[in-house]
A and B are shown apart, each in its own frame.
Chain A
């Protein structure tokens, strides 16, 4: 049987030659590709290799050196070399430069106050998780490590705040009940109680369909939120926002320090909006027929008009806290996941809720 024998025979004996015959197809017997996509490159695509653009967004943006583009700092020179990752091009170049500068400052300075360092790390973690969320298939190992780091930091913050109750309220996003059309109690889902509560809440905040800004300040109880608020206030990252229509969080005995600051309350119900799915839940979903699930969630919000809000999906939460309605709007925007214009290159065919509404509005002529 001489059917298609493989590959490079012996190369020249004497010279230590570079690879010979790279890329030669294997031979031997007929290949069987029993996998789901298997035969994909043969049967379904009729022998055509998977086109390059399809491959682009599949890798985490953080992989390789894409994370370092344009950044300063001693370790950033790696970006000038070849890019190992084929990740997403981030729009946050300024933000990244700041982050790279901050991270090298973190490493080199001994004078940075501990809370600042901690907040810096937390921001980096959440930014990474956000980036991973945008990908088709985030790296589970990295996501777990980063999530654990976030939990650890938040646990530490929570313990600190429980020792010194500071009830400064900082508003990044309002209470969901203020948003029309959502009955949070009606959508509430049961969350696992006990020790996993915090974790599930943590997870919910950066779920594949979760709110983006709030992931920065994801907290499970008010004490932690207050502590984070105070830290942020010290760091001067906050902006004053108009007070929400909702009430001061329950359990807050003292009045807010500054009346113009809105209060942050993340109710459990809020997280329920996301269907209790976290970043690891997205791994779960990706491994089952997810379309049905997505549609079910979309149906809840189909009567909501979100076309007025055109906020950027990718904006760094740290830099620009959103007005309340836009924040929640982004919640909805992210439900179908990966749908905004900045993520066009992701080949996932899911409907963009807000774009459809926008188109509808144009058609209706309002």
Chain B
């Protein structure tokens, strides 16, 4: 069955199929909580893929150069660097533990040989520099090869040190630490298109930082009421516009998105645009508000659209139209009749992310039972795939999955009651230019590619 086309370099619309490429991570049934992946992000070129986990570690994969002798396999992703980004902390003032889980990673555009990324936990953002070292200087005058200082009296000649190649070493060093700016838990960071500033958002506030300045940040949104008892809404996600450095959006727990222009005022509490879809009275339930809470918001690469993910659906909005989305895709509508159970076991609060492909022709998001869904915006076709070890043969084509909602269950279908709600795909990423996707399934990272026909 045909898959959903990703467009990439313009070949969108052709039927193609997704194949398994790689899986990273341990296979054990017993998953250590620290190994659970909490964020996935490609860099701007797609050559690097970063993951963060609950243990505060960042693992970066690099794509191998294409091998001429094996033209069928595209470059694989192998471990490039691993480092401990955040440690658990204890706030003694408030007697609170600060989790080391990496909430978000965002790459900076590459400006020199080194790579930079921002990683954040609940409270602190860090700028990391990842650099390669593959040369070593030999022939120092003042010290020996093993580093000991030479006796100055023994130095009779002067020589110029020579650079010799060495085994490649990848170093990660923290260059900036942006701390103490958030009282509540950081849920988003977003690098501005000016490549100099970025924003960080927690439940009630959004701060603007300069990448060079760590002791100061500007508060640009503050929705904390004077009386906390009146709090009814929190910020759930925020992102800068990809081209306009003065524009950003933030989503709320009430299903609304506000677009703000930093030129209009220093404090952007008053939005420039307000996006909200009127509620459908026929589908109203006790859980309507909870499932309307937006868990992720992403601008399209073109900057003309944005996509929001709430519990049951993905919506594409045209920035020029505020009163309703232009497209709505149901991710797992069969869960609508199970909302009470999902509320009881807290699954209803799961925060799924969503992502665009490079050409904005397709979108992807995760679901339960290690399913993930892709929607082609042009053909309106959708497909459900599964990230599982069973379908992990090299270049094996992924078979579409289907959930049966009632009545007779056909062969190969899975019924709603058999879904495993512990296996949830919250984090996915799509290569910026090619049809390569990275899907985080608990502690495993799956990489799928399209099959070249």
A residues adjacent to B (C-beta < 8 A): 5-13, 16-29, 31-38, 40-41, 44-45, 49-50, 54-55, 58, 62-65, 67-68, 71, 73-79, 81-82, 84, 86, 99-100, 103-104, 106-108, 117-118, 120-121, 124, 136-137, 139-142, 144-149, 152-153, 192, 196, 199-200, 203, 276, 278, 280-281, 283-284, 286-287, 289-290, 347-349
Contact status B92-A278, CB under 8 Å: no
- B: number of interface residues (CB 8 Å): 90
Interface residues of B in 101-132 (CB under 8 A from A): 123-124, 128-129
Tell me the interface secondary structure of chain B in the complex: mixed
B129 / chain A contacts, CB cutoff of 8 Å: 28
Within 8 Å of chain A (Cβ to Cβ): is B85?
A: yes
What separation, in Å, do the CA atoms of A342 and B149 have in the docked complex? 63
- Cβ distance B370 to chain A, nearest Cβ, rounded Å: 12
B25 adjacent to A348 (CB under 8 Å): no
| Residue numbers in B under 8 Å from A139 (CB-CB) | 349
Q: Cβ of A78 and Cβ of B420 under 8 Å apart?
A: yes
Q: CA of A319 to CA of B96 in the docked complex: distance in angstroms?
A: 33
Residues A50 and B179 in contact, CB atoms below 8 Å apart: no
Which residues of chain B are near A137, meaning CB under 8 Å?
96-97
CB proximity of B366 to chain A, nearest CB, Å: 16
Docked-complex contact A35 and B203, CB < 8 angstroms: no
Specify which chain A residues have a CB less than 8 angstroms from the CB of B234 in the assembled complex: 140-141, 144
Q: CB < 8 Å: which of B82, B228, B253, B340 contacts A19?
A: B82
Residue pair B173, A6 in contact (C-beta under 8 Å): yes
Tell me whether A19 and B290 are in contact in the complex, defined as CB-CB below 8 angstroms, given that A67-B345, A145-B253 are known contacts: no
Q: In the assembled complex, which residues on chain A have CB atoms less than 8 Å from the CB atom of B95?
A: 136, 347-349
20 additional contacts (CB under 8 A) given A75-B342, A100-B345, A141-B234: A6-B170, A8-B170, A16-B77, A21-B82, A25-B84, A28-B129, A34-B177, A36-B180, A55-B97, A64-B346, A74-B416, A103-B340, A103-B343, A124-B344, A141-B203, A144-B253, A153-B286, A196-B227, A196-B229, A284-B228
With A141-B236, A141-B253 in contact, do A278 and B83 touch (Cβ < 8 Å)?
no
A16–B289 touching, CB < 8 Å: no
Q: Across the two chains, which residue of chain A brings its CB closest to B172?
A: A6
- B81 contacts A100, C-beta separation under 8 Å: no
User: In the assembled complex, which residues on chain B have CB atoms less than 8 Å from the CB atom of A144?
Assistant: 231-234, 253
Q: Tell me the bound Cα distance from A258 to B340 in angstroms.
A: 34
Most chain B CB neighbours (cut-off 10 Å) among A5, A100, A281: A5
CA distance A332 to B233 in the complex (A): 30
Q: How far is the CA of A347 from the CA of B173 in the complex (A)?
A: 34
**Which residues of B are found within 8 Å of A45, using beta-carbon distances?**
90
- Complex Cα distance, B92 from A349, in Å, reads 12
- Could you tell me which B residues sit within 8 Å of A by CB distance? 22-26, 30-31, 33, 35-36, 55, 57, 59, 64, 76-85, 87-99, 123-124, 128-129, 133, 167-174, 177, 179-180, 183-185, 203-204, 227-234, 236, 253, 286-287, 289-290, 293, 337-347, 349, 416-417, 420-422
Residues in chain A near residue B180, CB distance under 8 A: 34-36
The answer for the CA separation of A146 and B59 in the assembled complex, in Å, is: 36
Contact, CB under 8 Å: B229 / A28: no
A81 to B: closest C-beta gap in Å: 4
> Are B228 and A121 touching (Cβ within 8 A)?
no
* A200-B229 in contact given A16-B23, A107-B339 (Cβ < 8 Å): yes
Pair B341/A28 contact, Cβ less than 8 Å: no
| Contact indicator B174/A28 (Cβ below 8 Å) | yes
Shortest CB distance B347–A (Å):
7
12 inter-chain pairs at a CB distance below 8 angstroms, sorted by A residue, are A10-B78, A24-B82, A37-B89, A71-B345, A75-B338, A78-B421, A103-B344, A144-B253, A149-B287, A200-B230, A286-B96, A287-B183
Pairwise interchain contact A152-B289, C-beta atoms closer than 8 A: yes
Task: Please measure, in the bound complex, the distance between the C-alpha atom of A23 and the C-alpha atom of B81, giving whole angstroms.
Answer: 11
Residues A82 and B30 in contact in the complex (CB < 8 Å), given A107-B337, A144-B234? yes
In the complex, how many angstroms separate the beta carbon of B329 from the nearest chain A beta carbon? 23
Is there an interface contact between B59 and A11, defined as CB atoms closer than 8 Å? no
Contact of B229 among A34, A67, A199 (CB under 8 A): A199
Chain B residue with Cβ nearest A289: B93
Partner of B179, one of A5, A38, A149: A38
- Nearest 4 Cβ contacts at the A-B interface: A28-B173, A280-B228, A37-B91, A106-B340
Does B89 contact A40, Cβ atoms closer than 8 Å?
yes
CB distance from B285 to the nearest CB of A (A): 9
Q: In the complex, what residues of A have CB within 8 A of residue B286's CB?
A: 117-118, 121, 149, 152-153
Q: Closest CB-CB distance, A150 to chain B, in whole Å?
A: 10
**A35 in contact with B341 (CB, 8 Å):** no
Task: Name B236's closest neighbour in chain A (CB-CB).
Answer: A141
Assembled-state Cα–Cα distance A137/B180 (Å):
18
B228's partner among A26, A33, A142, A278 (CB-CB below 8 A) is A278
* Set of chain B residues within 8 Å of A22, measured between Cβ atoms: 35, 55, 57, 59, 82
Of A62, A77, A286, the residue contacting B94 (CB under 8 A) is: A286
Docked pose: A146 CA to B286 CA in angstroms: 10
A55 interface neighbour in B83, B88, B227, B337, Cβ under 8 Å: B88
The CA-CA distance from A28 to B76 in the complex, in Å, is: 28
B84 and A140 form a contact (CB under 8 A): no
| Nearest B-chain residue to A140, judged by Cβ | B203
Pairwise interchain contact A50-B88, C-beta atoms closer than 8 A: yes
Residue of B nearest to A122 (CB): B286
CB distance from A156 to the nearest CB of B (A): 9
Which residues of chain B come closer than 8 Å to A73, judged between CB atoms? 341, 344
Residues of B within 8 A of A117 (CB): 286
Closest residue of B by beta carbon distance from A286: B94
- Residue in A closest to B54 when the chains form the complex, CB atoms: A84
Partner of B92, one of A37, A75, A145: A37
The answer to whether A26 and B337 have CB atoms under 8 Å apart is no
Tell me if A149 and B31 are in contact (CB < 8 A). Answer: no
Query: A199 to nearest B CB, angstroms?
Result: 6
Q: Which residues of B contact A11 (CB under 8 A)?
A: 78-79
Residues from chain A with a CB closer than 8 A to the CB of B290 are 145-146, 149
Contact A84/B422 with A32-B177, A144-B234 known, Cβ cut-off 8 Å: yes
- Per the bound structure, the CA–CA distance linking A287 and B247 in Å amounts to 30
CB of B278 to closest CB in A, whole Å:
17
Residue of A nearest to B394 (CB): A16
Q: Given the complex, which residues of A lie within 8 Å of B33, measured CB to CB?
A: 82, 84, 86
Complex Cα gap A6–B409 (Å): 53
> Given contacts A140-B234, A145-B290, are A67 and B78 in contact (CB under 8 A)?
no
Quick check: B22 and A16 within 8 Å, CB to CB? yes
Instruction: List A contacts of B79 (CB < 8 A).
Output: 8, 10-11, 17, 19-21
Query: With the chains together, A287 CA to B167 CA distance in Å?
Result: 49
A68 proximity list for chain B (CB < 8 A): 344-345
Q: Which of A26, A74, A287, A348 has the most CB of B within 10 A?
A: A26
CB within 8 Å for A5 and B169 given contacts A22-B57, A200-B229? yes
Q: How many angstroms from the CA of A250 to the CA of B204 in the assembled complex?
A: 40
A40 touches B92 (CB 8 A): yes
Chain A residues with Cβ below 8 Å from B89 are: 33, 35, 37-38, 40-41, 50
Closest to A42 in B: B87
